[in-house]
Amino acid sequence: MEPLVALEEHYFAASHLLPSHLNSLYSEQFKHVPALEDKLKSLDDLRIIDMQKAGVTFQIISHAPGISSLAASDCAKVNDYLAEKLMPRKNIFGGFAALPMGDPEAAATELRRVVETYGFLGALIDNHIPVPLEHMTGDLSQRSSALGATYYDSSNFHPVWKAAEELNVPIYIHPNFPTPAMQSHYEGLPSSASRSIATSGWGWHSECGAHLLRLYAGGVFDAFPKLRIIIGHFGEMLPFMLDRVNQLSNRWGSRARSFQTVYDENIVITTSGVWSVAPMHTIKASTRIENVLFSIDWPFAHAEWGKAFWDDLRKSGVLTKEELGKIGWRNAAKLFKLNEHDLLRGAQEFVA
């Protein structure tokens, strides 16, 4: 059996380490996804059982969204907690750091600490923080958008990108819950529809794709040409809008490289949370296979969905056996500098 690596797979830290409002953010998901809270809190049996159901042999674990606005000391406690839990199972688990993005200097320091101390494989950060920066310099327009969200395209966040580039680890930008102003775009609908469309039903993904365009327009990839950014959910709409973005991005200022070149050289996408083979035709035509990685988005998405999708993709003929191997595990091994022999051996031992 070949390995299968998944890297948008979440957990909750111990309750005493988290802000009290986090559970309320997930009330809609808890309502609709059976045993979600128990699975988020599991870093052992429940998680491993579902990995086996999905055929996943190595999981890179990140905290569920909503904590990038925590203080640096709180993020450090969350990261220490994850590191302690991962230690006995490094053959099947890797970790992404939580970073205090409200304080970019502290976020850079924390990223260096956990990569160098614990061997974390990068970080997963919320798509925006709903607060101004703790240490702000420059124009007030950089502080926050009119939507009450602070994005990461200003020079204030360069310390984070610099640390990631120097450590040679990627940063996964994950959708975050909408601010009240964002949510207001969906008013006038039944409340359940409004919440869903503003989040996982649409808004999360368009917001995350737009953030990547902001990073490009803000010159982040000029300043850090080797920075690797990961986005999930089949590329957060970008592969399907790529021709139009390429056509119009020359209006966004003088950049060292075209958007297409940055997309090819700096952006990695995952299959998380999308279960149809049909979009893979577009992705194969628009995106280098070396920049596509398998993921599930567990436990918000069921293990069985990930397995069914992977089985359907293998049977579809859209990808060759070599391309499937790249998406399933070889691309992840290269990106995260994982030993292929260890992954192969770990997969056999895990199945056994």
Between CA 180 and CA 107 the distance in angstroms is 25
Burial of 29 from C-beta contacts in 10 A (0-12 / 13-18 / 19+): middle
Average pLDDT, the chain: 93
Q: What is the pTM of this model?
A: 0.95
Residue written as token pair 């529809």:
193
Asked if 269 and 232 count as a contact pair (C-beta separation under 8 A), the reply is yes
Write out the two tokens for 339. 């030993």
- 155-212 confidence digits (pLDDT tens): 999 999 999 999 999 999 999 999 898 899 888 888 889 988 998 899 999 999 999 9
Q: Which is nearest to 124 in space by CA: 95, 102, 103?
A: 95
Residue 109's contacts (CB-CB under 8 Å, 6 or more residues apart) are: 72, 163
Rounded average pLDDT over 256-277: 97
Q: Which is nearest to 203 in space by CA: 181, 171, 224?
A: 181
- 2-52 confidence digits (pLDDT tens): 999 999 999 999 989 987 777 777 877 787 788 998 999 999 999 999 999
Q: Which domain holds residue 147?
A: 5-351
- Split at pLDDT 50, 70, 90, the class of 134 is low
Q: Which is nearest to 8 in space by CA: 197, 146, 204, 249?
A: 204
- Split at pLDDT 50, 70, 90, the class of 130 is confident
- Which pLDDT does position 100 carry in this prediction? 96
Asked if 176 and 65 count as a contact pair (C-beta separation under 8 A), the reply is yes
Between CA 58 and CA 89 the distance in angstroms is 10
- 295-340 confidence digits (pLDDT tens): 999 999 999 999 999 999 999 999 999 999 999 999 999 999 999 9
- Split at pLDDT 50, 70, 90, the class of 145 is low
Between CA 50 and CA 303 the distance in angstroms is 6
- Which pLDDT does position 137 carry in this prediction? 46
Amino acid at 193: A
- Which pLDDT does position 296 carry in this prediction? 98
Q: Write the DSSP symbol of residue 284.
A: H
Amino acid at 201: G
- Which pLDDT does position 138 carry in this prediction? 46
More confident residue, 352 or 112: 112
Beta strands in 127-275 (DSSP E): 171-174, 229-231, 267-270
Q: Write the DSSP symbol of residue 157.
A: G
Domain count, the chain: 1
- Which pLDDT does position 144 carry in this prediction? 58
Asked if 199 and 177 count as a contact pair (C-beta separation under 8 A), the reply is yes
Q: Write the DSSP symbol of residue 322.
A: H
Q: Which residues pair with 5 in a beta bridge?
A: 58
Q: Count other C-beta atoms under 10 Å from residue 334's C-beta.
A: 12
Asked if 14 and 81 count as a contact pair (C-beta separation under 8 A), the reply is yes
Residue written as token pair 């994950």:
174
Q: Does pLDDT of 69 surpass 60? A: yes
Q: Write the DSSP symbol of residue 177.
A: P
Asked if 1 and 351 count as a contact pair (C-beta separation under 8 A), the reply is yes
Give the domain CATH number at 222. 3.20.20.140
Q: Which residues pair with 135 in a beta bridge?
A: none
Q: Write the DSSP symbol of residue 16.
A: G
